[in-house]
Amino acid sequence: MNAVYVHIPFCRHICSYCDFCKVLHIKTFVDDYLDALQNEIINTYDGELIKTLYIGGGTPSCLTHQERIKLFRILENFKKTPDCEFTFECNPDDITEDLLDDIVRGGVNRVSIGVESFDKNNLKFLERKIDYKDLANKLEMLRNRGITNINLDLMYALPNEKMSTLRRDVNNLINLNPTHISTYSLIIEEHTKLSNNKTEYISEDEDRKMYDYICKTLGKHGYNHYEVSNFAKEGHESKHNITYWLNQEYYGFGLGASGFKGGVRYTNTKNLSEYINHRYRKEELLLTIKDQMDNEIMLGFRLLKGIDINNFYDKYGKNIQEVYPVEPLLKDKVLIYKAGYLYINPKYIYTMNEILTKLI
């Protein structure tokens, strides 16, 4: 247990595509929520040394100065390694000198910003506001404060989006020179505005072309494609997210947060009233060894370098080929074995879900 996720559900505005656990920022709720969060942490955290701490949402940066101070005092309960990767999600509009003072003082050394797009039509569809020049200035503010490890999110495959729009978005991201870029093909989730409006997907062929363009272009500009949707400059892969993809255990605190501890996957309630009243858990599931191996496959193959088969044996006492039908996929060169790792042939990474279906 060396990773912690903390969920801050508050937002100034609810975006059309968002299905994360979120509520509008209402001051009367925030203090009670932070009190409940502190109680959950004190009564659940076992004092391990933490290597990664991720504050997500929601929009953590929408908290006021006093609310941020309270949050960072709560986070002092965690024992962090000197090189702990400490990520804080931000909305560009929230980045001010005061915010930077607070997060730097709190120990944050990595920031993740949901850009999604720079195109006015895409932004209207997503119900977001981003200005390239303003964002460039905000990134300069971050770097001047010593926070140089910066992730920017990109969303693509939106209805009516053209390749020319995607090219501009990708070029703008590259020009901003973040150390990490996360890319997401639009998913229309239930209970979102997009779902309620019966939004339709673009064609799979067009989605594939966009994905291939992103991979090729970011690769040319020094971004290592290390996970299906993630690209990083050397040494700047997300240590926190790699914890998930390696199927390692981690804490999840806060409304709707999920965790994996002692072989149990748990999910917290999404009901704010229940959470504030310290009724945290919605469900807990004790995983069988087969469940854990299946998760190892589903998560591990997201990494371009794949699964360490010796580590798989050490964890489960079984050779991977004894449990899963990998031989036919190796024969067809859909899977590749090299230097102790089993991974999906990069030519087929876009069809990962189909490959997983054949394995599990």
Q: What is the DSSP string of 87-116?
A: EEEE-GGG--HHHHHHHHHTT--EEEEEEE
Query: Which two three-digit tokens encode residue 44?
Result: 């659940």
Q: Would residue 199 count as lying in a domain? A: yes
DSSP category for residue 237: S
Query: What's the domain range around 214?
Result: 3-244
Provide the 3-class DSSP secondary structure of residue 326: helix
Percent of the chain with pLDDT over 90: 85
Name the nearest CA neighbour of 307 among 355, 251, 259: 355
Three-state DSSP class for residue 199 = coil
Q: What total of structural domains would you count in the chain?
A: 1
Give residue for tokens 């120990």: 107
Query: Token pair of 258, please?
Result: 């999920």
**Tokens 């009367």, residue located:** 28
Q: Does the pLDDT value for residue 93 go beyond 80?
A: yes
What Rg, from alpha-carbon coordinates, does the chain have? 21
Q: How far is CA 86 from CA 6, 90, 111, 242, in A?
A: 11, 13, 8, 14
* Confidence tier at 336 by pLDDT (50, 70, 90): very high
pLDDT digits 0-9 by tens, 138-188: 999 999 999 999 999 999 999 989 999 999 999 999 999 999 999 999 877
Range of weakest confidence among 198-207, 219-228, 331-340, 351-360:
198-207
Total count of residues recorded for the chain: 360
Q: What percent of the chain has pLDDT over 70?
A: 95
Q: What's the pLDDT score for residue 126?
A: 85
Is the pLDDT reported for residue 253 higher than 80?
A: yes
**Residue 196 belongs to domain with CATH number:** 3.80.30.20
14-28, 205-219, 238-252, 275-289, range with the lowest pLDDT: 14-28
Report yes or no on 276 lying in a domain.
Answer: no
Instruction: Name the band, by pLDDT with cuts 50, 70 and 90, for residue 302.
Output: very high
Q: Rounded mean pLDDT of 107-115?
A: 97
For residue 208, pLDDT beyond 70: yes
Is 333 a member of any domain? no
Does residue 166 lie within any of the structural domains? yes
Residues 208-218 have a mean pLDDT of 97
Whole-number average pLDDT of the chain: 93
**Least confident range of 12-16, 251-255, 304-308:** 12-16
**Is residue 168 one of the residues assigned to a domain?**
yes
pLDDT for 259-279, tens place per residue? 999 999 999 999 999 999 999
Show the tokens assigned to 209: 């072309």
Residue 151 lies in a domain: yes
What pLDDT, on the 0 to 100 scale, is given for residue 125? 84
**Residues 7, 254 contacting (CB under 8 angstroms):** yes
C-alpha span between 263 and 249 (Å, rounded): 8
Q: CA-CA-CA-CA torsion for 156, 161, 163, 168, nearest 10 degrees?
A: -70
User: Can you tell me the distance from the alpha carbon of 358 to that of 32, in angstroms, rounded to the nearest whole number?
Assistant: 47
Q: Residue 198: what pLDDT?
A: 78
Residue 38 lies in a domain: yes
Q: Whole-prediction pTM value? A: 0.94
Band of pLDDT at residue 110, cut at 50, 70 and 90: very high
Instruction: Look up residue 239 and give its amino acid.
Output: K
pLDDT confidence of residue 15: 59
Residue 17 confidence (pLDDT) above 70:
no
Lowest mean pLDDT among 197-211, 218-232, 276-290, 346-360: 197-211
* Mean pLDDT confidence for 15-30: 68
Residue 332 lies in a domain: no
